Each structure stands twice: as C-alpha cells, then as structure tokens.
Amino acid sequence: MKQILDLHIHSPYSRACSPQLTLKNIDKTCREKGIDIIATGDFTHPAWFKSLSEELEETYKNSGLYKLKSAPDDKIKFILSTEVALIYKDEEKVRRIHLVVHAPNLTAAAELNKYLGENYNIKSDGRPILGIQAPEFVRLLLNINPNFLIYPAHIWTPWFAVFGSKSGFNTLEECFKEEIKNIYAFETGLSSDPEMNWRLSALDKLTMLSSSDAHSPVNIGREATVMELTTPFNYQQLYDVIKHNKKSGKSKIVSTIEFYPEEGIYHLDGHSNCKFSCPPSESRKLKNICPICKRPLVIGVLNRVEELSDRPVGYKPKNAVPFKKVIELDKIIAEALGIKNRLSKRVKQEYSKLVPKFGSELEILIDIDLKKIDKVVDVKILEGIKKSRNGELIITPGFDGQYGQVNIFSKK
C-alpha cells in the first residue's frame, strides 16, 4: 500500500517554530495534505516528550508507530524523530552538523533523553546543541538500541550540514569515520533535488529521503517520500526499507515529492545584506568575493554540488527513483487570486472547497484528473495547478538565508 511519509518536522519548542505545531494540529494538517506517516519532531525536548507520552499511543502493541489518542482512527501514524545539532572540533576545524534521528519506541527515546539531559542542555531548544562528534553520537544511539536510525539532514546547506561549505566535510567517511557503516540514508534538503544528488556517486549506496523540515503546520508535506509498504505498518518495516533499500532489488521507495530547489534559502551563492546573488560560474570569476562589500560570499548548495560531484549535469543513475516537484496549493490559490498572504481567510475558503471533496492537497497537486475539479474551482487556480504540474514557472533562486521566489503567473 502506498504511504506518503514526512520524516522531519519540528515542534513548538524549536527556535523559530510555530506554536500551532501541536499534535492535534499536525494530525489535522496531515489529513488535509495527504501525509500518512509523520515525524513527531523534537522528542529530545522534555516538555514535548511529555506531550508525546501523554497524547500518543501505539497503533498496536510493539509497532513503534503511534497515533493520536483522540483521533478517530490510525490513518495518521507518528514516527518518533528529532534533529540534533552537533558542534565540535575535528581536524582543526569547527564542524556544525545536523542529524535526523528516529527512535524505535518511547522507551528508547526516554533512555537517550536521560543520558542527554544529564550531560547537555536539552531544555532550551527542540533541536538540542550537543558537543559530541558524529561517530561518538552514532555509537551512543546504537548502544542504547541497535534500531535507532541516524542520517544527515539537508546535507548541502552551508552552515549546518555534512557537506556544508562553512563547516562540513568533503566525504561522509570523513564525518562518520568507522561508523559510516551504520549510516543508511541522507536527506536532500529544500535547496537540492534528486537530480543534483545523483551527480555524486558516493551517495548511490544510501537511501535518498525528502522531508519538509516544517517549522509550521502549513509547510508539512512540502517535501515527502512515497513508499510501498505492507500492513500492518510498523517501525521495523520502515527501518528495513531505509536500511536495505539499495540491496533488496526492487525499491520500496516509489518516488519523492520535491520543493523547487531554487526556492530554498541556500540554492545560489550570495550576500543577503548586499542583495547580491550569483551562480557558481560567476562566483569563481569573483574568486568567491562579494563585489559589493568585498567579503567572502556565502557559498550555496548548487556551488557545493558542483565542487564535489563526479558526474555531469543531467546524469541519471540506473533504477533512479522518480520525483515530482510541487508548489503548495495555498500558494497557488493566493497567487491566482492576487492575494499576498497564503494564510488569508479567502485562501482558506478556496482551499476548503477543494481538499475535503477531492481527497487531499497532494492528490490534487499530483494525481487527480483536473477535469474533475474544473467546475468547482476558479479558472485561474486551475491554470495555476496546470502550470505547476508542467513546470511552467518564473523562478528567482534563493541565497544566503533568503527564500527564492517561484511564481506561476507573470506580472503581465
């Protein structure tokens, strides 16, 4: 059975995250968006872990997946997850690495939290900062429970990623050392897509995952991974798919759902303060120096991919998992109606006309025959969905912490 997974989100306890990220709101949003299995986010935070323990229950005994106790069914399944920031010195360089962690059950998560609470400050941020090297952290998790899953988050972003231009490494082996054997996956991040990652052959042996890294409910599902799973669903099945996906013949990962990477906040090189950005070819001509302030540019994801890649643009591996790029439905509605705020009442009204009637947002954006909805939706919204599906867009790439602009309609 096809299941859509978003394996990386946050809670209200992470910095710059919405207070609306309650478990009830997450469950509700997943039903609207079409997400079947959702990350809890931030299980390392004591207050959020308390909410998880009190408001969730296993879908069945020892499944390792959870449902909201107050929900009418277990359509929306939660997988225990957190993101940690490792900041440490290695090879005379300060490293800042973000990792995604999935726990097999609440007991294992509680044991990890106990250790971290005794040795680090895990109360100040849902994404805790830990002064521990990546290999040591992997060993810590697997000593607690061998079925913890650990993999690098948004692997290319400049400041907090395994390949980041500011504090990362040039290979995964440099980062994880002898524990590389226990790393089975990586997360693409919003500023890269599968085509960019296919250019680095070292990633071929790992499972590619796409997730939203949502800081508010509205962004859940903007990236996701589609798997073919069998009932009854459980954590061990997900663990096995991610660990053995490259060894099992036919992939159980059907596709990924992607953000347009140009819309990501670190796609190109640049300086936000100087309002300057450029592609890697121009950065090389400038010797990576901003022409306005004469200081080093923040080197973005596309540049870093080009630096480390050993394959040309357009390379596609054999048996590559397909992907589809989407623009969120409320963004399409807002632009079609000339409304700047995607959270406005009018946008919500139009959204609520479509989603309950036709299944889910992702179904409307990707799968449904648009002839079925042309009688109940504004013609401009319908045209916006068509343009999004066809990639007929006007794109201004993001850089140095600034989101890019992906527009459907020209000003004309």
Average pLDDT over residues 58-76: 98
Q: Which superfamily does 2-262 belong to? A: Metal-dependent hydrolases (3.20.20.140)
Average model confidence (pLDDT) for the chain? 96
Give the pLDDT score at 251.
82
Structural element, H or E, at residue 270: strand 269-271
Give the pLDDT score at 91.
87
Per-residue model confidence as pLDDT tens digits over 195-219? 999 999 999 999 999 999 999 999 9
Coil, strand, or helix at residue 404?
coil
Give the pLDDT score at 412.
67
Give the pLDDT score at 248.
59
Distance CA 112, CA 145 (A): 9
What pTM did the predictor assign?
0.96
Domain with CATH 3.20.20.140 in the chain: 2-262
User: Is 49 exposed, middle or buried (CB count within 10 Å of its CB: 0-12, 13-18, 19+)?
Assistant: buried
Per-residue model confidence as pLDDT tens digits over 335-381? 999 999 999 999 999 999 999 999 999 999 999 999 999 888 899 99
Q: Given CA atoms 211, 106, 84, 243 in this order, what sign does their dihedral have?
A: negative
Give the pLDDT score at 410.
84
| pLDDT band, very low/low/confident/very high, at 246 (cuts 50, 70, 90) | low
Per-residue model confidence as pLDDT tens digits over 107-135? 999 999 999 999 999 999 999 999 999 99
